[in-house]
Amino acid sequence: MIGFFGNIGDISMKRFISAVLIGAAAAVALAQPAFAQRPTQPDLTPLQEQDAAKKKEHEAVDQQYKRTMQTTTGASTTKVDPWANMRAPDDSKPKK
């Protein structure tokens, strides 16, 4: 049977296939160090680092605020009027 590169049982065909496979294996082996140098996480610029730090700080402040509001909201449920003793007894607006 005759193939594109000669007889299929021919030694030159076997050499060609083995040469192609060895070449492909060599290309893969040489490409591995290039992939190993790729960073897993991109380097951040100083401005991006500052933004990330500010974001973490804001989140921490928000968490503290929420905890404070949860603890203080339940303590005082009655409304307090600090100006109650400064008003006159009949300080209502006249109705038109």
**Residue 7: inside a domain, yes or no?**
yes
Q: Please indicate, yes or no, if residue 95 is contained in any of the structural domains.
A: no
Q: The domain containing residue 13 runs over which residues?
A: 1-36
Does residue 10 form part of some domain?
A: yes
Q: How far is the C-alpha of 92 from the C-alpha of 80, rounded, in Å? A: 18
- Decide if 27 is inside a domain: yes
Structure tokens at 57: 């700080």
Q: Are 1 and 8 in contact (CB under 8 A)?
A: yes
Q: How many domains does the chain have?
A: 1
pLDDT, tens digit, 9 for 90 and up, residues 21-44? 999 999 988 887 776 666 666 677
In this predicted model, what pLDDT tens digit does every residue of 42-59 receive, in sequence order?
677 888 889 999 999 999
Residue 72 has pLDDT above 50, yes or no: yes
Using alpha carbons, select from 26, 25, 6 the residue that is nearest to residue 16. 6
Report pTM: 0.35
Residue 32 domain-assigned (yes or no): yes
For residue 24, tell me if it sits in a domain: yes
